[in-house]
Amino acid sequence: MPHPKKSVSDLALFGGQPLFAEPLYVGRPNICDHDALFRRIQDAVDLRWLTNDGPLLLEMEARFAEFLAVKHCIAVANATLGLQLLAHALELKGEVIMPSFTFIGTARAMEWQGLKPRFCDVLDSRHSLDPAAVRKAITPNVSAILGVHLWGMPCMIDELQAIADQYGIPLIFDAAHAIGSSYKGERIGRFGRAEVFSLHATKAINALEGGLIATDDDELAHRLCPVRNYGIVDENTFEGTGVNAKMNEFSAAMGLTNLEHFSLLQTHNRGLQAAYMTGLDKTDGIQSVTAANIENHNSHYAVFRIYPEFGLSRDEIREILVKENIFGKRYFWPGCHRCPPYNNLDPALSLPVTEALVDGLLQLPTGLQIGADDARAIAGLLAFIGKHADGKDGIKHRFGLPPV
Ligand code: T4K
């Protein structure tokens, strides 16, 4: 049971009892049906078929293709490798336009293929590539546009596709966060030349580690398949080049089982987002990013924007929450363009929206680890923190910090 706070001294930061006895994490894996999962793993063990296009993998690929309404779903060991395989199959060269406001893995995948990220700013309203900035960044060196559907919120796909078509370059998507999200009524997965999902343990549908490349392009899918298996087509046929990017059967067992329970999980997370929102609706300076247009989102990430009116910075709030056993995240600080080696590419690069977002966003726990009562308790704590941020006996004062 959460321990509510009556005074500032009750905060764990100042010696009080933490709100939660056990830590709550952003990204706690969801395991939706233990019995079904262990049955599938037992079957794989009994069959002694553990990897290399096993029956669970083939079933998982078919079921995801059906779920996404896409022709091909190619399972890979993780999304980072999926992005690399895609860049390889499309024979990308030179520079790739992408946001800096994404997980560092997006940039690493391109860099590992010998490509140079060309970072563009994002839209304040949806945290994904700003089409106007993309248009300005096009040069003859740019071989692709890589959009990221951050927090599962779709990019401005039509606008980005129009730019890609005008310049005759592929549009591809890092859809790591976006399984089950949709754009104009169609599930993410069929847009651009291909979209790459992550099935990492922390994601909306997890397969321990894993990724999926989704595409409607038969020829591209045909080229991609052997690349994940060293370029081996069959016993007698070797093609181009390749790497080991295969997914094993235990991962496929987890992916399949969690896919079957996706809508239950989505409903649960929507309940949490609503509980957070309701608990915070009278608190100034904190606003949900992911609760708007919720019908299009998988609702996996609960993302909040902190404004100066709250009275404490995002990092101060996070410090207080951690002591209460609430491990909020500050994804994706500091922005890829400020990380080596990219910070040396163009030291003068300024991305104002990205730079404001990396300092102002806080992600809160979701998933089956918590119930609506817990989300209400977290929101109540945040409201309490906001109410007592300032003033003579306020938190800011006790932190020893000047007022904002
Ligand atoms: N593109 C985007 C936009 C991405 O966000 C990602 C991955 C990728 C591409 C690449 O996808 P993959 O190649 O991974 O398939 C985590 C994940 O490792 C990473 O997959 C994910 N994005 C990113 C958003 O989150 P970290 O550095 O935050 O990991 P870590 O270890 O701090 O864990 C995150 C939280 O989850 C912690 O609060 C603890 C909790 N957790 C984690 C694991 C693994 C658990 O409670 N149990 C667990 O088993 O990157």
What's the pLDDT tens digit per position in 322-376? 999 999 999 999 999 999 999 988 878 999 999 999 999 999 999 999 999 999 9
Number of H helices, E strands in the chain: 13, 16
Among 30, 172, 200, 336, residue to substitute to test ligand 1 (most atoms within 8 Å of Cβ)? 200
Establish how many alpha carbons lie within 13 A of residue 286's alpha carbon, considering only the half-sphere containing its beta carbon.
30
Least confident of 65-69, 184-188, 254-258, 346-350: 346-350
Query: From the alpha carbon of 26, which atom of ligand 1 is closest?
Result: 38
Q: Which residue has the tokens 């546009």?
A: 145
Share of residues in the chain with pLDDT > 70 (%)? 98
Nearest CA to ligand 1 atom 12: 79
CA of 207 to the centre of ligand 1 (A): 13
For residue 84, pLDDT over 70 is answered with yes
34-259 folds as Aspartate Aminotransferase; domain 2 (3.40.640)
Residue 175 and residue 200 in contact, taking contact as beta carbons nearer than 8 Å: no
Residues 6 or more apart whose CB falls under 8 angstroms from that of 35 comprise: none
Q: What is the mean pLDDT of residues 242-253?
A: 97
CATH superfamily, domain at 8-28+261-328+365-398: Aspartate Aminotransferase, domain 1 (3.90.1150.10)
Residue 226 and residue 233 in contact, taking contact as beta carbons nearer than 8 Å: yes
Query: From the alpha carbon of 211, which atom of ligand 1 is closest?
Result: 15
pLDDT digits (tens, 9 = 90+) for 100-109: 999 999 999 9
pLDDT digits (tens, 9 = 90+) for 182-201: 999 999 999 999 999 999 99
Predicted pLDDT at 346 = 84
Residue 14 and residue 8 in contact, taking contact as beta carbons nearer than 8 Å: yes
For residue 295, pLDDT over 90 is answered with no
Nearest CA to ligand 1 atom 3: 103
Confidence of residue 11 (pLDDT cuts 50, 70, 90): very high
pLDDT digits (tens, 9 = 90+) for 382-401: 999 999 998 767 888 777 66
Confidence of residue 1 (pLDDT cuts 50, 70, 90): low
Confidence of residue 218 (pLDDT cuts 50, 70, 90): very high
If you average pLDDT over every residue of the chain, what do you get?
Answer: 95
| 74 φ, ψ (degrees, to nearest 5) | -105, 115
Q: What is the mean pLDDT of residues 151-172?
A: 98
Higher per-residue confidence, 1 vs 85: 85
Among 103, 150, 181, 188, residue to substitute to test ligand 1 (most atoms within 8 Å of Cβ)? 103
Q: Does ligand 1 come within 6 angstroms of the Cβ of 108? A: no
Domain ranges, ordered by start, for the chain: 8-28+261-328+365-398, 34-259
Predicted pLDDT at 400 = 67
Cα three-residue angle 144-148-153, rounded to 5 degrees: 145
Query: From the alpha carbon of 28, which atom of ligand 1 is closest?
Result: 46
pTM of the full predicted structure? 0.97
**Tokens, residue 71:** 């022709």
Q: What is the mean pLDDT of residues 299-326?
A: 97
